[in-house]
């Protein structure tokens, strides 16, 4: 799992990587205008019992506010209160368990 609380944190990812490009867009359009941070989920994170201190539950049980699917990534948003949000970037990969995929697809925003 990679956590991004400041634009400089994007340096954790290689320049030009698809995840970094998506996170740069998320950062500029979402996070800088609210209080919160972004998380990039990796295959080893999907079975954690408590994904983050603010979300003491597995990813499949996260109460998504909304989800989009774009350029090979699910982008899910969780509001922990009225002014703090967490943006999740989850690769649309074969290693996603069906329970997590179903949860994300159930909240998929249709345009």
pTM over cut 0.85:
yes
Q: Going residue by residue through the chain (111 aa), what tens digit of pLDDT does each one get?
A: 999 888 889 889 888 889 998 898 887 766 555 678 999 999 999 888 998 988 889 999 999 999 999 889 999 999 888 778 899 999 999 999 999 999 999 998 654
- Cα-Cα-Cα-Cα torsion 30, 37, 7, 47, nearest 10 degrees, comes to -120
């Amino acid at each position: 799992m990679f956590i991004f609380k400041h634009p400089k944190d994007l340096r954790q990812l290689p320049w030009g990587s698809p995840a970094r490009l998506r996170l740069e867009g998320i950062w500029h359009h979402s996070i800088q205008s609210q209080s919160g941070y972004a998380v990039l989920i990796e295959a080893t994170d999907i079975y954690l019992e408590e994904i983050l201190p603010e979300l003491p539950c597995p990813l499949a049980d996260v109460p998504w506010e909304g989800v989009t699917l774009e350029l090979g990534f699910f982008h899910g948003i969780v509001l922990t209160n009225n002014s703090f949000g967490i943006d999740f970037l989850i690769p649309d990969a074969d290693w996603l368990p069906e329970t997590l995929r179903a949860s994300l697809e159930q909240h998929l925003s249709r345009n």
